[in-house]
């Protein structure tokens, strides 16, 4: 089994702008492509894990989510030759939380802070969750990491600084608080003497 670095999308890889209705509005946070490339260069498995409730809220379909991820991957490749090894998306949202599209309006073990996406990734790609890291900008990212036995890193981009100040979601105890993804990658590489 191998360790992995799990990455949230909005606020970690790309700018947090709410629901992205136009594909061209997805733009990387500066330095992200280079940070992912450093993980690639150390042969660390990179896996996107993201809640995307747009389809459940009937804002747009899964084809739009796929188009956004194609743009994300293209930008990573163009800027630094960086690659995400696989992508896991949870489009589900229960009706009490706002899900309206019958195809996606349901409770799911994949929705953070539940661990379904991490468990599925570990099963499919032979990953060691106890040696892995989750990088996110929300308390639910850190909760999911700890629920799955990973180390959780909270970046201060996206909603991260609001989580730390108590203005968003709830307080959490990340294993490391990073300025951004580049800082998180520095910590990952040095914590395991992988540099």
Structure tokens at 140: 């639910």
Helices (DSSP H) in the chain: which residue ranges? 32-41, 62-80, 116-125, 139-148, 160-165, 181-191
**Rounded CA gap, 95 and 66, in Å?**
23
The catalytic position among 10, 143, 180, 183 is: 10
Residue 90 marked in a binding site: yes
Neighbours of 131 (CB within 10 A): 14
Catalytic residue flag (residue 8): yes
Q: Is 25 exposed, middle or buried (CB count within 10 Å of its CB: 0-12, 13-18, 19+)? A: middle
Residue 38 marked in a binding site: no
**Rounded CA gap, 3 and 140, in Å?**
21
Residue 115 marked in a binding site: no
Residue 10 marked in a binding site: yes
The catalytic position among 8, 141, 143, 180 is: 8
Q: Which residue has the tokens 């019958």?
A: 102
Residue 2 marked in a binding site: no
Residue 41 marked in a binding site: no
Residue 137 marked in a binding site: yes
Catalytic residue flag (residue 10): yes
Residue 51 marked in a binding site: yes
Residue 97 marked in a binding site: no
**Short-list 76, 22, 23, CA closest to 48:** 76
Q: Is the sign of the CA dihedral 39, 40, 46, 51 positive or negative?
A: positive
Residue 111 marked in a binding site: yes
Residue 37 marked in a binding site: no
Annotated binding-site members: 8-10, 16-19, 50-53, 90, 111-112, 137-138
Annotated binding-site members for substrate: 8-10, 16-19, 50-53, 111-112, 138
The catalytic residues are 8, 10
Annotated binding-site members for Mg(2+): 8, 10, 137-138
Annotated binding-site members for Zn(2+): 90
């Amino acid at each position: 089994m191998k360790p992995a670095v799990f990455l949230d999308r909005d606020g970690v890889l790309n700018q947090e702008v709410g629901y992205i209705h136009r594909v061209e509005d997805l733009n990387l946070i500066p330095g992200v492509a280079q940070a992912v490339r450093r993980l690639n260069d150390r042969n660390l498995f990179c896996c996107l894990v993201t809640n995307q409730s747009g389809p459940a809220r009937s804002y747009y379909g899964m084809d739009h989510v796929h188009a956004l991820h194609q743009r994300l991957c293209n930008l990573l490749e163009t800027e630094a030759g960086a690659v995400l090894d696989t992508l896991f998306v949870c489009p589900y949202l229960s009706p009490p939380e706002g899900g309206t599209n019958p195809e996606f309006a349901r409770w799911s073990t994949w929705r953070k802070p539940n661990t379904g996406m991490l468990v599925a990734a570990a099963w499919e790609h032979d990953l060691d969750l106890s040696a892995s890291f989750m990088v996110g900008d929300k308390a639910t990212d850190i909760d999911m990491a700890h629920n799955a036995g990973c180390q959780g890193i909270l970046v201060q981009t996206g909603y991260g600084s609001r989580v730390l100040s108590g203005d968003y979601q709830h307080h959490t105890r990340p294993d490391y608080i990073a300025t951004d993804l580049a800082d998180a990658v520095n910590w990952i590489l040095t914590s395991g003497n992988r540099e």
